[in-house]
Structure formats: structure tokens, C-alpha cells
A = this chain, B = another copy of it.
Amino acid sequence: MRRVRTPTGLDEGGLERALELLREAVRRRGLRSSSVRESIARAALQREGHFTVDDLIRDLRTTEGEVHTATVYRVRPLLVEEGLLQTTLVSSSDGAHYERAFEREHHDHLICSQCGKVVEFFLEDIEELQRAIAKKFGFRLTGHVHELVGTCRDCLRTDA
């Protein structure tokens, strides 16, 4: 079992690789290039940890200028499909959360429902068991959601 290091923002090189991957996807799909789309991608990739669409919009406001909500929502599927972002933190109320997926190891989440703390972990044994289950039932796996919810050490101490 392994704790996965919470990522810091992507460095310059990584950012360039990600944007290149995005441009390649845009070409492949016959879309137009767009600086707004790249701004959104940059904001998302540089963000550390988990964030919402709204976080992104606020970030953009201070760095690249105003970008409309609808635009972010429209760009988002591309970023997810191309593996730059992934949906996460399903066990939360305020809308969908995302995190960078590009040049990040796969991991799942352990969440404290009291203080919101998130520990990222990876356990190959579980991945293996998931594959076994899918195989047994004839499914080809495309993804999974795995979030453990509980109370962290600090909150347990405070409760007592």
C-alpha cells in the first residue's frame, strides 16, 4: 500500500507536453485552435489538488482574464477525454470536483467527512481484484470510483 504524493503544480516542461497533447487532439478532431481553450487547460493543469469549475474560473480571472462559465463547461469534456483531467471526489456536495490526471499516477481517495482532508493512496492488490471482478462478469473495465469515507486521526482526537 502506498500513499501517493499530493502533486504540486505541473512544471514548465510538463505544461508544454500537456498543451502539445491537447493541440494534437484538437488537430485529430478537426477542431480550431483557441487561446481561451489553452488558458483553461493551463489553469487546470497548474492547479494543485482538487478543484471545481468555479475554482478554475476564479483562477483565470486573476491570470488570463474573464472566461465564461459556459465556456469552461464546454471545454471540460475534451480535457477529461484526453486525459488531462479526471473527475474525482464524488462524495461531496458542491458540484463535481476535478484533479489533474496528466503525468499523475493513478490513485484513489480516503476522505475525512468532518474536515475534508484527503489522502491519496494506491494499492495494486485492489486494482488487481477489480480486474478479476470485471473479468468474472465479462466486463471490459474503463474506470472506477473508489472513495473511502471516514474520520481522520485529528478529528477523532477533537471529538473525544
Could you give, for residues 120-160 of chain A, a 1 whenever the CB lies within 8 Å of some chain B CB and a 0 otherwise? 01010110011011101111111111111111110010000
CB-based contact B91/A145 at 8 Å: yes
Q: Is A78 located at the chain interface by the 8 A CB criterion?
A: no
CB-based contact A148/B133 at 8 Å: yes
In the complex, what residues of B have CB within 8 A of residue A141's CB? 148-150
CB-based contact A134/B150 at 8 Å: yes
In the complex, what residues of B have CB within 8 A of residue A52's CB? none
Q: Is A80 located at the chain interface by the 8 A CB criterion?
A: no
Q: Is A46 located at the chain interface by the 8 A CB criterion?
A: no
CB-based contact B145/A140 at 8 Å: no
- Find the residue from A121, A150, A156 having the highest chain B CB count within 10 A: A150
In the complex, what residues of B have CB within 8 A of residue A123's CB? 129, 133
CB-based contact B130/A148 at 8 Å: yes
Beta-carbon contacts under 8 Å, A73-112 to B: 90-91, 110, 112
CB-based contact B125/A139 at 8 Å: no
In the complex, what residues of B have CB within 8 A of residue A145's CB? 90-91, 145-147, 149
CB-based contact B121/A139 at 8 Å: no
In the complex, what residues of B have CB within 8 A of residue A1's CB? 129, 132-133, 136
Ranked 9 nearest A-B pairs via Cβ? A138-B153, A139-B150, A141-B150, A90-B90, A145-B147, A144-B148, A143-B149, A140-B151, A142-B150
A interface residues (Cβ-Cβ under 8 A, vs B): 1, 3, 90-91, 110, 112-113, 119, 121, 123, 125-126, 129-130, 132-134, 136-153, 156
